[in-house]
A and B are shown apart, each in its own frame.
Chain A
Amino acid sequence: MTESTDPGRRTVTTLRELPQSIEPPQDLWPRIEAQLEERAPGATRGAAMPQRRRGQALRWLAAAAMVASLAVGVWIGRSLVPGAGGGVAPSTTANRSSVPGVAPTTFDTTYVSDPRYERQRTALVRALQERLAALPAPARAKVSASLAAIEKAKKDLEQALGRDPSNALLQELLINTYQDEMRVLTDVHEASDPGRGI
């Protein structure tokens, strides 16, 4: 390598002699600092997530929960609820009121931790396999797919709430999802009742 005052005119004999470091023409720090978040980096994953991405994640979760609810509602309307073949899906409120022993009127977290809910759900889940066996194969497949979608939505929402426990929208979506699950379990229970049929 030979000495030269002009860095560009300097000669090299290996590529490793090329400068690894090149200073940017202007100081980029003010622009970077302006975009750094107020919170400490990595304090919590939720806190570190940029606001825009957080909003997108919430929208995705909301969309997923809505799709799951809609799919379940339509499926119940068409396949399980006797006399509902007219094409009008039952409303959430109507279905909620059909759950024995559980008749919430508003969304609140006490619904989830209600011991009556827990007891009812446990009993329904225990009898689920037996009840499913009584359903025709296509209906069974739809129920399983719906329950799997609901389970996935629950897990996603619970994870999101773990990161942002005070988020009211997430709480509401989670309650909705619990109710959807309960509704499917109840409808399966009723639909597979020998006295009612599909």
Chain B
Amino acid sequence: MSAGEHFRFLENVLPCGDEGLKPFRSGAPLTVQMPHAQAEETRVDWGGALLERARAGDRRAFERLYREHVGRVYGLCLRMTRDAQLAEDCTQETFINAWRALGKFETRSSLATWLHRIAVNVSLAKRRRSGQVEPLPEEEEGMAAGEWILETPVEVQEIESAIGGLPDGARDALVLHALYGYSHVEAAQMLGIAEGTCKAQLHRARKLLRERLGVEVS
């Protein structure tokens, strides 16, 4: 092993209790890289250890967290902004803000959810700055949480395009609730709107999707 390879190897390992160093393959989730029996037991410790190290200023640890979460953050930003360049900027800003606010992160909440909250704030702020603000629909009560099942199968490209064509507010609510699985309350909190407004936006999104895809969305 050359010096460079050795260095890269050391860069890609993570301390794992008394068992010494284990190779870390960036890109794959941490749990996938451990034997199944170990995975459940050590999953939280690994995540926690990374967080602690990042909080202490370890950029390598923060890079690991970045690599683990960047896809979900970028996916959300892309769907909210509908612009690849803007989504990259939002993703970048999300992680920079997260680094600066790591000390305030409460470990009882999920890091992924926390990053999503930041990403939503950043994306909304960018959109506001670009003047894309639409009026909120009237609140609607009693709208049940649907499964967002399509009557007939639809191609990913087609449905992504239909989602991308929704008005901002309806798309935000749909993406957070139907794609990322946040509850009405969580999605409303993230978007800074009332729960009733969030439900109304979902109702609107469902109606528009139905019209644009030509299939029933239940």
- Beta-carbon contact of A41 and B71 below 8 Å: no
A11 touches B156 (CB 8 A): yes
- A37 near B100 with CB under 8 A, answer yes
Cβ–Cβ contact A48 & B178, under 8 A = no
Tell me how far the C-beta of A17 lies from the nearest C-beta in chain B, rounded to whole angstroms: 8
Total A-B Cβ pairs within 8 A: 122
- Chain B positions 140-167 with a Cβ under 8 Å from a chain A Cβ: 147-150, 152-157, 159-160
B1 is an interface residue with CB less than 8 A from chain A: no
Which of A22-30, A165-173, A174-182 interfaces with chain B?
A22-30
How would residues 24 to 40 of chain A score, 1 for a CB under 8 Å from any chain B CB and 0 otherwise?
11101101110111011
Q: Which residues of B contact A87 (CB under 8 A)?
A: none
Number of B interface residues, CB 8 Å?
45
What's the dominant secondary structure at chain B's contact region? helix
How far is it, in angstroms, between the C-alpha of A9 and the C-alpha of B157 when the chains are bound? 6
Q: Within 8 Å CB of A29, what residues of B?
A: 63, 66-67
Residue pair B103, A48 in contact (C-beta under 8 Å):
yes
Which residue on chain B has the smallest CB distance to residue A6? B157
- Which of A15, A19, A50 lies in contact with B178, CB distance below 8 A? A15
Instruction: Please report the C-alpha to C-alpha distance between residue A22 and residue B81 in the assembled complex, in whole angstroms.
Output: 14
A37 to chain B, nearest CB (A): 7
Contact of B102 among A13, A31, A41, A49 (CB under 8 A): A41
Residues of A within 8 A of B154 (CB): 11-13
Q: With A18-B156, A42-B103 given, is the CB distance from A36 to B96 under 8 Å?
A: yes
- Report A-chain residues with C-beta under 8 Å of the C-beta of B91: 24, 28
- Determine which residue in A8, A16, A41 has the highest number of CB atoms from chain B within 10 A of its CB, and name it: A41
Tell me if A20 and B75 are in contact (CB < 8 A): yes
Q: A120 to chain B: closest CB distance in Å?
A: 41
A98 smallest CB distance to B (angstroms): 47
User: Hey, which chain B residues are within 8 Å of A12, CB to CB?
Assistant: 150, 153-154, 156, 159
- On whether the beta carbons of A41 and B101 are closer than 8 Å, the reply is yes
A contact residues around B66 at 8 Å (CB): 29, 32
A86 lies within 8 A of chain B by Cβ: no
Whether B55 lies near A40 (C-beta < 8 A) is yes
Q: Which residues of A contact B147 (CB under 8 A)?
A: 14, 16
Indicate whether B92 reaches chain A with its CB closer than 8 angstroms: yes
> In angstroms, how far is the closest chain B Cβ from the Cβ of A128?
40
A14 B104 Cβ-Cβ under 8 A: no
In this assembly, does A163 line the interface, its C-beta being within 8 Å of a C-beta of chain B?
Answer: no
State whether the Cβ of A88 lies closer than 8 Å to any Cβ in chain B: no
In whole angstroms, what is the CA distance A21 to B73 when docked? 7
Q: Does A93 contact B (CB under 8 A)?
A: no
Q: Does A43 have its Cβ within 8 Å of any Cβ on chain B?
A: yes
| A115 at interface, CB cutoff 8 A | no
Contacts of A26 in B (CB 8 A): 88
Interface pairs A-B: 5 shortest CB-CB: A42-B103, A40-B57, A21-B71, A8-B157, A11-B153
Seen from chain B, the residues whose Cβ lies within 8 Å of a Cβ on chain A are 54-57, 59, 62-63, 66-67, 70-72, 74-75, 78, 84, 87-88, 91-92, 95-96, 99-104, 147-150, 152-157, 159-160, 174, 178-181
Binding site for B on A (CB under 8 A): 1-2, 7-16, 18-26, 28-29, 31-33, 35-37, 39-43, 48-50
Other contacts beyond A18-B160, A20-B180, A49-B100: 13, CB < 8 A: A2-B153, A12-B153, A18-B179, A20-B179, A21-B75, A22-B74, A29-B63, A32-B66, A33-B63, A40-B56, A41-B54, A41-B99, A43-B103
